[in-house]
Homo-oligomer: A and B are copies of this chain.
Amino acid sequence: MRKIALSVLLASSLGAVAQQPGTADSVFIRKVANNILVDRTMYSNLHYLTKQIGGRLAGSPQMVMAEKWGEKAMQAAGADKVELQECMVPHWVRGGKDKAIVSFSDKGKRLSKNIEVLALGNSLGSGAKGVKAPVIEVHSFDELEQQKNNIKGKIVFYNVPFEETFVETFQAYGKNVKYRGQGASRAAKYGAVAVLIRSMSHSVDNHPHTGAMGYDTAYPKIPAAAVGLRDVEWLDSLYQKQQGVEAQLFTYGKMLPDTIGHSVIGELTGSDFPNQVITVGGHLDSWDVNEGANDDGTGVVQTIEVLRAFKAMGFKPKHTIRFVLFANEENGSRGGKKYAETGKAKGEQHIFALESDEGGFTPRGFGFTVPDKSWEKIQAWKPLFTPYYGDQFTRGGGGTDIEPLAAAMGTPMAGLRPDSQRYFDIHHSANDVLENVNIREVKLGAINMAALLYLVDQYGL
């Protein structure tokens, strides 16, 4: 029985009639899965990227190393061709060791304590003199507005906890990240001299979590730093009971002129429709304070792994598949923008794009931003993902690097959705190291990605 079904469906997968996946597809996906589960290349790749290269912010020497490594890794995985796509990237440097000292009066004495801070990406530093001022704590932008007459000359301390009752942690991040992004300028508007932001995390350790911020050019560009969560709780408690709480913040961030960066693009050229492009990717850059293991080393090595496994199995896609390691997701998204612009200028047809940039955790499924008709079609594919835990399909989703494609040409897109519980323990902090990756979880993610790419290639959306 199985043999008959296989031969019929293999014939159909060679370009004839089938519109619905069947046994041959589940057999193919099982083979991809076994290949990925047994092979050790992906772990070696992630080990090299995290331990030999490490943190690789746009403009850094490490990012240049990562581009060269990525090119070689794509070639080793068997790409038909590999290209480094140039783009201009912002060039922010941390410039020194961030530091903050909190001082306060206790029984007539003046005491002080260092707290753990990290300057936010793109923020401008206080320099070696630091900025010293009384602290005012707020728990929302509304409270900032209510306090607007008390802000001048102060350091605003945004203490907005993650909402714990959201089961999916990206909801908590999505709700709070505006304090990181806009907090500095919103406070500068009322005369604040610096801001301290509660880290975007619900971890129980004290590592601060950096991340991109932006300035509203209408207001002074004041220093901005994230605070580790234990120190947030300490500072909050101090602020509630003591008078005269001051902070002195030392940050050294500088925005240098834009510099050259590259996305790394490997390709398997389509046998039937070489001009119709399916894109899969993660981003090659990371923050500077860690190894960029889960953000987004895992997305990078999954992307290369799918290429390696397809090639190792002799799978020749009908459509061109591009495996892209995007430049500069963290503080500018210039790689993704350039990729979409270039594709549009060349008149390429981009039929689907997939990104993995939510950490290398055990998969739960995919989020899809696709037309209704495609959404209905892919419902039938779910059982093929069930054995690998990737069958939770939700609407909405994609990735920062592929959104420009969707915006430019309406390309349907999806994002791999791993389990989200651990992500914000790690995200943008010193915790994002190889030791916090379980390689089997990353492999399961790659298997689901390979399955989805295969099905889109064979059956379209």
Contact = CB atoms under 8 A, between A and B. Distances in A.
- Say how many copies of this protein the assembly contains: 2
A165 B441 CA distance: 13
Contacts of A43: 204
A34 B164 CA distance: 8
Contacts of A169: 440
A389 interface: yes
Interface string A12-43: 00000000000000000000011001100001
Interface string A415-450: 000010110010000000000001111001000000
Nearest to A30: B165
A362 interface: yes
A318 interface: no
A209 interface: no
A115 B42 CA distance: 27
Contact of A444 (B33, B167, B364, B440): B167
A387 interface: yes
A388 interface: yes
Contacts of A165: 33-34, 37-38
A441 B389 CA distance: 17
A202 interface: yes
A221 to B, nearest CB: 36
A114 to B, nearest CB: 23
- Of A38, A389, A440, the most chain B CB neighbours within 10 A belong to A440
A237 to B, nearest CB: 15
Interface string A121-144: 000000000000000000000000
A167 B388 contact: yes
Nearest to A47: B204
A206 to B, nearest CB: 13
A421 B362 contact: yes
A293 to B, nearest CB: 13
Contacts of A421: 362, 438, 440-441, 444
Given A362-B362, A387-B167, A419-B419, A425 B444 contact: no
Interface in A280-298: none
Contacts of A419: 362, 389, 419
Nearest to A442: B421
A165 B165 CA distance: 36
Contacts of A422: 438, 441
A441 B204 CA distance: 13
Contacts of A167: 33, 37, 387-389, 444
A369 to B, nearest CB: 22
Contacts of A388: 167
A263 B181 CA distance: 52
Contacts of A441: 421-422
Contacts of A425: 438
A426 to B, nearest CB: 10
Interface in A165-202: 165, 167, 169, 202
A156 B438 CA distance: 31
A164 B35 CA distance: 10
Nearest to A38: B164
B389 A440 contact: no
11 contacts: A37-B167, A38-B165, A43-B204, A164-B440, A167-B387, A167-B388, A167-B389, A169-B440, A202-B440, A389-B419, A421-B441
Across chains A and B, which 8 residue pairs bring their CB atoms closest together, nearest first? A37-B164, A421-B440, A34-B165, A362-B419, A421-B441, A422-B438, A37-B165, A38-B164
